[in-house]
Amino acid sequence: MRKFCILLSLSIILLASCATSIAIPFMQPSSVDMGGYRNLALASVVPYKGQIVPSGYIIGADVRVSGLHIYSGYRDSGNERVASYATDQLYSLLTQSGFFNLLSPERTDIIINRGFFGNDISSEFQSLGYDAVLIPRISGMSVNEVIYSVPDYDWWVDSDGDRHRRVDFDYYYRQIASIDYTLTVIDTRTGKIVTQRTFSDTAKREDILDTRWSRLEDPSYLFRRMIRSFNDDIQSLLVPTYHEYDVTLMANKPKNESVESAYDAAKKGRIAEARDIFMAAWDNSAHLPSGYNAALLYAASGDYDSAIDLLSDVMELYSDADARQLYRDLLTIRTRNEQAQGQLSGESSVRESSDTNGNAVYGLALGGW
């Protein structure tokens, strides 16, 4: 009996592993509709303007380390270096997306800086054909550092057989860095903020303290790591992206010999051939798996309308949970794809011009002139 159960379990695993997964491609719209702002001027990241670490030695967590004179690894130039790194990351991310026609940070900064002297910033960008300005700013940064000791006990036995304990201490440091990274998009025609979003994160490092050095390791890499971690969220915020939704073909139950070749064709990526075979079986015998699979393969080729219509016919004859689920999923996929296509075409965000443009909104986004 046990041997039978094992063989049955292996058979179930084998059948599951043989199931063919079909990818349904679609475009996911960005969280913020940037369709009307594809001509985008990107400013350099504004550095954090506050103090990151206090002057003086790092505080010790216990008496053992109170006499160590250790300085923070963070330098005064760190704010600028972190902002420069963030600028490179953001410019590279948006360039590689292929969605925007970007004005480089260097040229964008020049135009914004002319606002100090009374030039109308929005008008200058409009004259160059740019619909919006993206101003990124590091709105918060902090580094908390502490050094501490950990006892290391060593036992030894003397010649009389008595056990003794010797205590040494190992020294460690801990750095906890936090960052707030704010992106502001300004419409150059209306002078209004399209979106303002802040990304926040905290990172930690603990390591052995080398007491021969008077300064800790530079924690700037923690900020760089956090900035990189924002890339996916920034892309989802501003850029429609390609996705695939995987669905498994419905098994051939009840068995229909005429569609066996369709499963083989689908497994080998011959989507149109498999779809036609499944469709013929559905037309001839209303075979549930064939109707479901034909609809799935229509969706895999991007024909969501035919897939949804066919599933509607399937659901009229069968009360099948998988068919209902796929139907609902395809409705969502079609809607999202249509929204993303509208963003790609630039027709999704129609704006009216405004005479209220001013430089104050740029000063606000920069954190003050």
Q: Which residues contact 278 (CB under 8 A, 6 or more apart)?
A: 259, 262, 289, 290, 291, 293, 294, 297
pLDDT tens per residue across span 304-326 = 999 999 999 999 999 999 999 99
- Average pLDDT rounded to a whole number, residues 141-164: 82
| pLDDT score of 51 | 84
Tell me: the pLDDT tens digits for 79-125? 999 999 999 999 999 999 999 999 999 999 999 999 988 899 999 99
User: What mean pLDDT is predicted for residues 33-60?
Assistant: 88
Copy the structure tokens of residue 329.
Answer: 């999923």
- 263 vs 355 pLDDT, higher one: 263
The string of pLDDT tens digits covering residues 28-40 is: 999 999 999 999 9
The pTM of the full predicted model, rounded to 2 decimals, is 0.81
Q: Share the mean pLDDT of the chain.
A: 89
- Look at residues 109, 177, 111, 168 and name the one whose alpha carbon lies nearest to residue 141: 177
- Residue 4 confidence (pLDDT) above 80: no
% of the chain exceeding 90 in pLDDT: 69
Q: Is the pLDDT of residue 197 over 90?
A: yes
**Nearest by Cα to 108 from 46, 47, 193, 42:** 42
Confidence of residue 354 (pLDDT cuts 50, 70, 90): low
| Number of other CB atoms surrounding residue 257 within 10 Å | 8
Q: In terms of Cα–Cα distance, which of 87, 99, 47, 35 is closest to 235?
A: 99
The 3-state DSSP class for residue 59 equals: coil
Distance CA 191, CA 362 (A): 9
CATH numbers and ranges of domains, the chain: 22-28+243-345 (1.25.40.10), 35-144+174-240+357-364 (3.30.160)
Q: How far apart are CA 87 and CA 18, in angstroms?
A: 47
- Produce one character per residue of 265-290: b if its CB has 16 or more CB atoms within 10 Å, e if not: bbeeeebebbbebbbbbbeeeebbbb
DSSP string, 118-156: T--HHHHHHHTT--EEEEEEEEEEEEEEEEEEEEEEEEE
3-state secondary structure of 55: coil
CA–CA distance, 113 with 356 (Å, rounded to integer): 20
Q: Facing residues of 105 across strands? A: none
Residues 190-218 have a mean pLDDT of 91
Q: What is the pLDDT of residue 167?
A: 74
Q: What value does the mean pLDDT take over residues 170-177?
A: 90
Q: Which two tokens stand for residue 336?
A: 């999202």
Specify whether the CB–CB gap between 82 and 21 falls below 8 A.
no
